[in-house]
Chains A and B, each alone.
Chain A
Amino acid sequence: DIQMTQSPSSLSVSVGDRLTITCRASQNINTYLNWYQQQSGKAPKLLIYAASILQSGVPSRFSGSGSGTEFTLTISSLQPEDFASYYCQESYTTSYTFGQGTVLEIK
């Protein structure tokens, strides 16, 4: 099985901050990597697929990069509605393994 490791697990940030979340795969997954946002009490929402393609309707302050085993999600200027949990997911296998998640907290 592919293991997906996100870092950090949690992050205290302020509105306007720029932040980066990292996701590492235990083996090469090319660009088979998706990112989701989950606000408290809500279903996950797709942000980015194929490592760097922004889903329609998602604000441009979100961006993704990487290939192989290391990937990043960047939020250029954090907005109040961005305080949520973020998950990466490999789509290289049909196990579709998620990372353990990163929780953004207000500093």
Chain B
Amino acid sequence: EVQLVQSGAEVKKPGESLKISCKGYGFSFTEYWIGWARQKPGKGLEWMGIIFPRDSDTRYSPSFQGQVIISADKSISTAYLQWSSLKASDTAMYYCARRPSGWNNGYFVNWFDPWGQGTLVTVSS
């Protein structure tokens, strides 16, 4: 079964660092881009960025560039999302997702499936 399994919930204080993980099962991890999205409590989805584990090519959404670091270790089929100094405003659920792609009517389209179960990050003093 193709799945992404994320690390468990975290409770941190402002200023602390954090690295959460997303491990892939049932597919070749180096063949797919892996992305991250944020969802603050009661709010919508926000796209953060994406990484290609084979060569660690990474693309950030402008809103998150410089705010987080996305990385991957292809040897253990795991992608990461990390913060060097957390803020209360980073409190949210974070999801990873795999990006398949294919040709449709002359366009090379892509989508995100499956999604990990989510990692809740709570930042509070």
Contacts and interface: CB of A to CB of B under 8 A. Distances in A.
A binds B: yes
Interface of A: 1, 30-32, 34, 36, 38, 43-46, 49-50, 53, 55, 85, 87, 89, 91, 94-101
B61 A96 contact: yes
Contacts of B118: 43
A34 B105 contact: no
A31 B104 contact: yes
Q: Majority SS of interface residues in chain B?
A: strand
Interface of B: 35, 37, 44-47, 50, 59, 61-62, 95, 97, 104-105, 107, 109-118
Contacts of B50: 94, 96
Given A96-B61, A101-B45, 13 more contacts: A31-B104, A31-B107, A36-B112, A38-B45, A46-B114, A49-B109, A55-B111, A87-B44, A89-B112, A94-B59, A95-B61, A96-B35, A97-B47
Contacts of A100: 44
Given A95-B47, A98-B46, A98-B47, A46 B62 contact: no
A55 B35 CA distance: 19
B62 A50 contact: no
A99 B44 CA distance: 8
A97 to B, nearest CB: 6
A31 B109 CA distance: 8
A53 B109 CA distance: 11
A57 B110 CA distance: 18
A48 to B, nearest CB: 9
26 contacts: A31-B104, A31-B109, A32-B107, A32-B109, A36-B45, A36-B112, A43-B95, A43-B116, A44-B95, A44-B115, A45-B115, A46-B114, A49-B109, A50-B104, A55-B111, A55-B113, A85-B44, A89-B47, A94-B50, A95-B61, A96-B47, A96-B112, A98-B45, A98-B47, A99-B44, A101-B44
A94 B61 CA distance: 7
Q: Which of B37, B44, B107, B116 counts the most chain A CB atoms within 10 A?
A: B44
The 10 closest A-B CB pairs, nearest first, are A49-B111, A46-B113, A96-B47, A43-B115, A94-B59, A101-B44, A50-B109, A50-B104, A98-B45, A34-B111
